[in-house]
Amino acid sequence: MIKLFPRYLGSFILLVFVQVFILNNIQFSGYINPYIYVMFILVLPFETPNWLLLIFAFILGLTVDLFSSTVGMHSSATVFMAFLRPYVLKVISPRDGYESETLPQLRYYGISWFIRYSTILIVAHHLILFYIEVFRFSDFFATFVRVILSSIFTIILVLISQYFYRKDTKR
């Protein structure tokens, strides 16, 4: 657990950096805005205590918020996502449960499990995020389209980066 800490700190900084300085400046056709930083919450170890999960999520969201001057927006969405994570893990757990010494990552449980896992959480995160951003229900469908398109892009980015992980974290 402790030995993982520097690696997660590194990935935290890297993800926030990528998010804030690259992806936040990209907006495909006004609709699509991927938020890859949520991957940090996705790949935290199974054994992470739930309360720590929430606190991590809050810190992560707040950091992104501070850089994009939307205090509270990303943090509430990310905290919500972290709240869902234990339940999602329980629902989609493989038949014989999660093995110890493994992480919720593509290379341990395969692509179909990881797509299911990340899709649920990312869509949940984006739903909260985008609806908090517009803060109304009047443009419900326009916002919903944004949620779906952005979620697809985030998932693709997360999958691609999973393959990168695989390469440089080979044991």
CA–CA dist 32, 152 (Å, integer): 9
Q: Least CB distance from residue 119 to other proteins, whole Å?
A: 21
| HSE, side-chain direction, 13 A CA sphere, residue 57 | 28
CA–CA dist 45, 103 (Å, integer): 5
Q: Which of residues 133-152 bind other proteins (CB under 8 A)?
A: 135-136
CA–CA dist 151, 139 (Å, integer): 18
Question: Per-residue string for binding with other proteins, 50-69, x by CB under 8 A?
Answer: xx--xx-xx--xx-------
CA–CA dist 118, 131 (Å, integer): 20
**What does the block give as tokens for 47?**
């054994």
Q: Least CB distance from residue 112 to other proteins, whole Å?
A: 28
Q: Least CB distance from residue 77 to other proteins, whole Å?
A: 9
Q: Least CB distance from residue 115 to other proteins, whole Å?
A: 25
Q: Which of residues 77-136 bind other proteins (CB under 8 A)?
A: 79-80, 82-83, 86, 132, 135-136
Report yes or no: 92 and 83 within 8 Å, Cβ to Cβ: no
When the beta carbons of 62 and 145 are compared against other proteins, the nearer one is 62
How many residues of this chain bind other proteins (CB under 8 A)? 22
Q: Which helix (H) or strand (E) holds 89?
A: helix 73-91
Residues that bind other proteins (CB under 8 A): 50-51, 54-55, 57-58, 61-62, 70-73, 75-76, 79-80, 82-83, 86, 132, 135-136
